Structure 1
Amino acid sequence: MTLPLDLHLHHRPWAVFSHDRRYRYKLTRDWNAELPRMGIVGHNPSTAGEHRNDRTVCRLIDFAKRFGHGGFDLYNLYAGVSTDPKLLNLLRDPIGPDNDDHLAQLADEHDFILLAWGGYADPHRARTVTARLWHAVEPRGGTLATLGWTSSNQPRHPLYLASTTALQSLTATPHHDYADIDDRWSQLIADTDLDAPTHVRRAG
């Protein structure tokens, strides 16, 4: 008998939880060490852990394989574990005390980062995290990507998207003022709380 959400990978599964397991800061999945790995930022953790995939993680594995990657590190805007993102506000600290440190690690280790948190995110939190990621990867010529946009101009969640969904990317280009990028990217990377590079502030 097969359990579709159980983990069937041949490489190391790994997850970083808080000691009380109320927060999951990082989830790693590897299947091909010869291919590049990608970073992903979702909304919040659900039931996936060291030895189990939930539906979202299974879907992300499918997309990552199609995009030519051999694994990923999954982080989240909110580290609070919940099967219902609408109930995160019941937590005293839905973001998690160490989550921003882990997101900084993501920005240091990955030059390609997929944003995939859907429409439930607080817009200010989404902008803050995206701007920090962009601020980190832009000098290295890195890329942020989405699987399209929600009606509220947030990156779409992967769960119910067609397997043929195309990436929409923002890649840093030397000596470019980014004035012609999609306005949704301009809004997402423009966090006025950060001292972003001048050419990013001019975007859009």
Structure 2
Amino acid sequence: MRTDPLRGSAELSSCGLHRYRLDRWWSNEPRALVCMRNPSTAGADRNDPTICRLRALLQDRPGIGGFTVVNADDRIATDPRELEALLAGQDVAALKAARHANLARIRTLSAAASVRIVAWGNLLAPGLHADRVIAALSLDGTHPLDAFALTADGAPIHPLARGHSRVPLGMPLVGWRADRPAPVPTDGEEV
């Protein structure tokens, strides 16, 4: 196990309600990009159980010197149900603009990532938004996506999965792909 010091940073909105990215690194080797469903309250200097588990899962992998966390939606919510309620109450135009900016950020970070890991469990419902997130992460299908492991339904397991779904340390990443092609977004489509 590496004992290099863990350094971190986070990019948050000025209001503190959105986390655009969170970074942890222990060396100058390339960082993995990890995409989950909703941001937690972890910040530049504050870890939570998910961030601690990500470090444990990634720190001894050759060629990975850290990770960048992004989320399908950037609104901070510790419970996915809370996130859904917040998104449902948001102005449609504002939600569309926020998601567009988030997808652009994911695409830019994905282009620089050494590996792209999806880890949202069953929390990202299939549909147009999920398809757009997958397209941004995979750079329109030109780069592979990996997962720590898969659920029985083929969803990418979240780092904090428990019980028989818990990912053992040192387990190799598995390839993951959506079972449908990502659509090209057009104006007037749902958010």
Instruction: Tell me the TM-score range normalised by the shorter chain.
Output: 0.7 to 0.9
Comparing 107-116 with 126-135, greater Cα deviation is found at 126-135
In the TM superposition, what whole-angstrom CA distance separates every residue of 1:12-56 from its partner, at most 9, and x where no partner exists?
Answer: 4110111101110100001112x3221111111112001111100
Letter aligned with residue 179 of structure 2: Q
Q: What is the aligned-residue RMSD (CA, Å)?
A: 2.6
> Among residues 101, 105, 109, which one is paired with 1:102 in the alignment?
105
The whole-number CA distance in structure 1 between the counterparts of 2:120 and 2:54 is 12
The whole-number CA distance in structure 2 between the counterparts of 1:50 and 1:136 is 30
**How many angstroms does 1:67 deviate by?**
2.3
The whole-number CA distance in structure 1 between the counterparts of 2:58 and 2:46 is 18
Higher relative contact order (CA 8 A, sep 6+): 2
Q: Which residue does the alignment assign to 2:148?
A: 147
Percent of aligned pairs with the same amino acid = 29
SS at 1:119 equivalent? coil
In structure 1, runs of 5+ residues without a counterpart are 1-7, 171-184, 195-204
Contact 1:79 1:99 in 2 (8 A): yes
Q: TM-score, normalised by structure 1?
A: 0.73
Q: Would you say 1:59 and 2:53 are equivalent positions?
A: yes
Q: Which residue does the alignment assign to 2:188?
A: none
Q: Which residue does the alignment assign to 2:40?
A: 46
The structure-2 alpha-carbon separation of the partners of 1:61 and 1:85, relative to structure 1 and needing over 3 Å to count, comes to same
**1:164-203 aligned within 5 A:** 164-169=170-175, 185-187=177-179, 190-193=181-184
Q: Which residue does the alignment assign to 2:160?
A: 159
**How many angstroms does 1:11 deviate by?**
5.1
The whole-number CA distance in structure 2 between the counterparts of 1:186 and 1:28 is 26
Contact 1:119 1:154 in 2 (8 A): yes
The whole-number CA distance in structure 2 between the counterparts of 1:73 and 1:186 is 22
**How many angstroms does 1:149 deviate by?**
2.0
> Among residues 111, 115, 120, which one is paired with 1:112 in the alignment?
115
Contact 2:140 2:182 in 1 (8 A): no
Q: Which residue does the alignment assign to 1:180?
A: none
Report how many residues are paired.
169
In the TM superposition, what whole-angstrom CA distance separates every residue of 1:156-185 from its partner, at most 9, and x where no partner exists?
Answer: 101132224431126xxxxxxxxxxxxxx2
Q: TM-score, normalised by structure 2?
A: 0.77
**1:17-56 aligned within 5 A:** 17-33=12-28, 35-56=29-50
The structure-2 alpha-carbon separation of the partners of 1:27 and 1:148, relative to structure 1 and needing over 3 Å to count, comes to same
Structure 1 segments of 4 or more deviating over 6 A?
none
Q: Which residue does the alignment assign to 1:3?
A: none
The structure-2 alpha-carbon separation of the partners of 1:23 and 1:131, relative to structure 1 and needing over 3 Å to count, comes to same
Letter aligned with residue 39 of structure 1: L
**How many angstroms does 1:133 deviate by?**
2.3
Letter aligned with residue 25 of structure 2: D
The structure-2 alpha-carbon separation of the partners of 1:110 and 1:123, relative to structure 1 and needing over 3 Å to count, comes to same
**How many angstroms does 1:115 deviate by?**
0.6
> Among residues 127, 132, 140, which one is paired with 1:128 in the alignment?
132
